[in-house]
Amino acid sequence: MQAVLRLHRYLEPLPSHFEIMERIGLILRGGYTYRNSLDDSYRASQVDFYRSNMDRQFKLIAEYEPITAPSASLFGISGVGKSTVVEQTLAFFPRAICHEKHGFIQVPWLKLDCPPGGHLKDLLLGILLRIDDLLGSEYRPHRRSDRTIPELILNTAKVAAAHFLGILVIDEIQNLIDTSGVGPDLLSQFFVMFANVVKIPIFVIGTPRAISSIQRTFHGARRVGDFGALVALPLTRGPTWDFFLTRLFTYQWVAKPITLDDELSSTIFDLTQGVHALVVRLFQLVQIQAIRLGLDTISLEMFRVVASSELQLVEPMLKALRAGKDVRKKAYDDLFAAGLTAIGNSVADSVRLEALKQKTTNGEISAAHRLHVISVLVGLGFEEHRVDEVVKGLFHGNPKMAVADAVAQALEQLQPRSTFDQSLPYPTLKEVVQNAASDERPADALRSAGVIYPSSDDSSPA
């Protein structure tokens, strides 16, 4: 089950992913074309830019630069892997580069998520906090109320420019657009400052319902889509779907893995509508169910049964996708995102619950057996603290050890053969006990072997 849980990190590279990777790489490198960190005139223009803006003079960093930095956007419903692909792409670039010779630290990229209900001020403070965490700096104001939003926009742009930020990636942009009190003017000021003034490329990620707001707020999405607005879609039946599912089915942790066929492929597509995350989660849940029930394989019927019980939260969205309806409504979007999160948590919770059950069961068996073994050995006259130490070590290595085996191994540790004269036929305690058990009067045999004390009416020494 723990192995199945690892599929939470599953990403199968697909043709559409390489287009996203290429676009981000071009934007990041293209944004540095007119921002040479070693150019003295550029560095002087940064100081002039900040002073001018503090005096309410709206001025570009350099006059010879293009009017805006190359920027782009990526939209798609929840679960199609937008954030995952972008994060994997950014992982090819260093988080920070220390240029000791030139006396500054370069930050090639920053990625932030807009929290639900978060304001523009929270996003700006988040950018400064992320830079502080990365560099050990103290750019973020100690109190949230220390700066107004226009002041924060200017200060954040100044810090980003000082560290030659290569690209700013903002995920879940629809959360920022939905927030009350964040008007088009403030959002436009933020994007203009970064993309037009300090020339830092911006890459925004959001759900389809954010497209119209972006276009309306940012004048045809020029500043967030002049390098292309990409759309991530669910998979459709065809070669890419077959490749994705075939690769996924190589990760089976049941005793008898099954082979993917057309009927099973068609059923899984109908149940998930090609949403990447749903396909993976359903595949996980089916395997976990099989392991939990002690089955050695999975089946088509199991996919149907598990989907009917586990995918209920996202069924309205799936019905809309099957019917070809417009899924950009906020109700669909929020419900689907929340449902995917809940399903992901359900997979992890199922694994944790089974682990706890197994641990509890093993613990109860182990405790009962351990107590039984200790009772037998103490009854044979061994010191309790020594017995407890030996038995604890035995059950630590094998919690399911049988009582008889544990007694035998403990006896060998408690009373090993004499090391003084290996030629003498000294029996082990195990052999003494076995011989006594076959004797008609086992107590007398044990007493004469010196294992137990004589009774009160026996005058012979122990």
CATH of the domain at 124: 3.40.50.300
Same domain, 224 and 322: no
Same domain, 10 and 54: yes
Query: Residue 155 falls within a domain, yes or no?
Result: yes
The total domain count for the chain is 2
Phi, psi of 201 (to 5 degrees): -60, 145
Tokens of 225: 């889509």
Same domain, 96 and 162: yes
- State residue 136's pLDDT score: 92
- State residue 126's pLDDT score: 92
Q: How far apart are CA 56 and CA 50, in angstroms?
A: 10
Same domain, 287 and 203: no
- State residue 422's pLDDT score: 47
Query: Residue 439 falls within a domain, yes or no?
Result: no
For the stretch 67-70, contacts whose Cβ atoms lie closer than 8 Å and that sit 24 or more positions apart, written own/partner, are 67/196, 68/195, 68/196, 68/199, 68/222, 68/223, 68/226, 69/31, 69/194, 69/195, 69/196, 69/199, 69/200, 69/201, 69/202, 70/26, 70/27, 70/30, 70/31, 70/201, 70/226, 70/227
Query: Residue 139 falls within a domain, yes or no?
Result: yes
- State residue 462's pLDDT score: 42
Mean pLDDT for the chain overall: 79
Domain that holds residue 206: 2-231
Residue type, 378: V
- State residue 247's pLDDT score: 95
- State residue 382's pLDDT score: 83
Are 209 and 77 within 8 A, CB to CB? no
Same domain, 119 and 22: yes
Q: Give pTM, 2 decimals.
A: 0.68
Query: Residue 262 falls within a domain, yes or no?
Result: yes
318-353 pLDDT tens trace? 888 888 776 666 655 666 777 777 787 777 777 766
Same domain, 223 and 296: no
Same domain, 107 and 202: yes
Same domain, 112 and 31: yes
Final residue of a structural domain among 174, 208, 231: 231
- State residue 220's pLDDT score: 39
Same domain, 82 and 181: yes
Same domain, 155 and 23: yes
Same domain, 128 and 203: yes
Phi, psi of 112 (to 5 degrees): -130, 150
- List of the chain residues with pLDDT < 70: 37, 39-68, 178-185, 212-228, 326-335, 352-366, 416-430, 432-442, 444-462
- State residue 57's pLDDT score: 60
